Amino acid sequence: MRRVTAILRNALQTTALGMFVGFAVLPTARADQPTPPPKPAISDEAATAVAQMGKTLLASDLTITARTISVYLDQSGQPLHIFHTMKITVRRPDRIAVEFTGDDGKHDLFYDGKAASVFLPDSKKYATIPASGDIPSALNEVTTKLDLDFPLSVLFAASPDRVLLNDAMAAWQVGTASIDGVDCRHLFFSQKSGIDLELWVEKNSAATPRRLVVTYPLLQGQPSFVAEFTSWKTQPPLSNSEFTFDPPAGAKKIDLTSAVASGTEGGK
C-alpha cells in the first residue's frame, strides 16, 4: 500500500520526490505484461557475456561507486531528472550498505543480516525493519514494507546471470562502445516482468558492468533509471561495522507500527 510510504515520508520530513529516488520512483511493471514469444530468443553473445559477468559479481566483498539518473513524470506530467552518486558496499551473501548523495539530499541504507535501516543524515531521522536472508531477500522486505525499489538489486542476486536471463524473453548484443577508454559490449534485454534493460559490460573475460539503463515501457511516461559505474573494487574481508547502523547522537527513530496504524485510521 502506498499509504505506508506516504506516512514514512511525512514522518521523515523528506522532499516530495521521495526518500530514495534510486529506489522509489521506478516500480517494477507488474500489470499488462506483454505476451512472451513461443521461444526465448537469447543470442550466444549475450548469454556468454552475462555468464562471465555473473562470475565477476560473485566476489565476496565489493565496493562499487556509481552515478545515477532517475527520469519520471511529476504530478503535472512534466519529466524530471534526478541525479545521485552512490557508494555501494557488499559482502555476500547477506550484507549491503548504500550511501546516496543527490538532488534530494543524503540517504543511507544498511542491512546487517538481521535488520535493514534507512537513515537521513540531514534530518537525523531513521527507520528500521526486521529483515533476514540474502541481499535480494532483504531488499524485497524493504520494497514490501517501505514501498521502495532498488533497480540495481539484480546485480547482487545469488546468481545474477540466471536472474537476468531467466526473466528475458529476448536478449542480444546491440554493438560495442567505449566507456572511459574501455571497450564494452552493449546488450539489450526484453524482460517478462515488463521492463527493457540495457547493459554495457567490459569486452573481456570479467565482463564487469560499466553502465545500466532500465526502462519501464508499460508505465505512464516510460520512466527510466540510468546507472554508470565509476569503480568496482574487490576488497579484503570487510568489517561488520560497515553494514551495521549505529544511530548518531540525537537521531530520532520513526515508529513504523504507530505510523501505519495512524494512517489506516485516518483514511482509505
Boundaries of every domain in the chain: 2-26+34-266
Residue 235 pLDDT: 76
Residue scoring higher pLDDT (146 or 220): 220
Q: Model confidence over 226-242: pLDDT tens digits?
A: 999 999 998 788 899 99
- The CATH superfamily label for domain 2-26+34-266 reads Lipoprotein localisation LolA/LolB/LppX (2.50.20.10)
Residue 11 pLDDT: 44
Q: Model confidence over 111-170: pLDDT tens digits?
A: 999 999 999 999 999 999 999 999 999 999 988 887 667 778 889 999 999 999 999 999
Report the alpha-carbon distance of residue 254 to residue 263 in Å, rounded. 14
Q: Model confidence over 37-68: pLDDT tens digits?
A: 545 599 999 999 999 999 999 999 999 999 99
Helix, coil or strand: residue 108:
strand
**Would you place residue 258 in the very low, low, confident or very high pLDDT band (cuts 50, 70, 90)?**
low
pTM for this predicted structure? 0.80
Residue 135 pLDDT: 94
For residues 184, 190, 191 and 192, what is the CA-based torsion angle, rounded to 10 degrees?
Answer: -160
Residue 105 pLDDT: 87
Residue 265 pLDDT: 42
Closest CA to 59 of 14, 89, 92: 92
**Would you place residue 185 in the very low, low, confident or very high pLDDT band (cuts 50, 70, 90)?**
very high
Residue 236 pLDDT: 81
* Burial (Cβ within 10 Å: 0-12, 13-18, ≥19) of residue 39: exposed
pLDDT at residue 19 greater than cutoff 80: no
